[in-house]
Amino acid sequence: MRNSGETGVALTAEELERYQRQILHAPFGQAGQARLKAAHVLVAGVGGLGSPVAMYLCVSGVGTLTVVDADVVSISNLNRQLLHWESDIRARKVDSARGKLVEMNPRAHVEAIGERITRETVPSMLKGVDVVVDCLDNMASRYILNQACVDAGIPLIHGGVYGMMGQLTTIIPGKTPCLECIFPRKEETDQGPIPVFGPTAGTIASLQALETIKLLSGVGKLLAGRLLYFNGQEMECLLVDVQSRDKCPICGGVGAKEGIM
Amino acid sequence: MHISVDANFTLKGVFETPVQWSFKRSGVTLRELLREIDQRVHSITIFRDNDLGDDIEEIWLNGKRFFSLGEKLDTPLKDGDRLKIALYMAPLGGG
Ligand SMILES: [Zn+2]
Q: Which of A247, A91, A239, A250 is nearest to A169 (CA)?
A: A239
Options 3.40.50.150, 3.40.630.30, 3.30.750.24, 3.40.50.720; CATH of A16-241: 3.40.50.720
Q: Which of B50, B87, B53 is nearest to B69 (CA)?
A: B50
pLDDT tens per residue, range B35-84: 999 999 999 999 988 889 999 999 999 999 999 999 999 999 999 999 99
Which residues of chain B are within 8 Å of residue A227 when distances are taken between CB atoms? 89
pLDDT tens per residue, range A6-40: 778 999 999 999 999 999 999 999 999 999 999 99
Tell me how many degrees the CA angle B51-B57-B60 measures, rounded to the nearest 5: 75
Helix A50-60 and helix A198-217, axial crossing angle in degrees, nearest 10: 40
pLDDT tens per residue, range A117-135: 999 999 999 999 999 999 9
| Residue ranges of domains in chain B, CATH in brackets | 2-87 (3.10.20.30)
- pLDDT given for residue A258 in this prediction: 46
Q: Which amino acid, residue A100? A: K
Q: Cα separations (Å) of B61 from A132, B17, B58, B65, B73?
A: 40, 15, 10, 7, 11
Which residues are B85's β-sheet partners? B7, B59
Helix (H) or strand (E) holding A230: strand A226-231
- Shortest distance between the Cα of B22 and any Cα of chain A, in A, equals 21
Report the separation in Å between the CA atom of A30 and the middle of ligand 1, taken as the mean of its atom positions: 36
Domain ranges of chain A: 16-241
- pLDDT given for residue B49 in this prediction: 86
Q: Does A229 touch chain B (CB under 8 A)?
A: yes
- pLDDT given for residue A191 in this prediction: 74
**B14: closest chain A residue by CA:** A236
Q: Is the complex ipTM more than 0.90?
A: yes
- Shortest distance between the Cα of A201 and any Cα of chain B, in A, equals 7
Residuewise pLDDT in 10s, chain A (261 residues): 556 557 789 999 999 999 999 999 999 999 999 999 999 999 999 999 999 999 999 999 999 999 999 999 999 999 999 999 999 999 999 999 999 999 999 999 999 999 999 999 999 999 999 999 999 999 999 999 999 999 999 999 999 999 999 999 999 999 999 999 999 988 777 778 999 999 999 999 999 999 999 999 999 999 999 999 999 999 999 999 999 998 899 999 876 654 443
Q: How many residues does chain A have?
A: 261
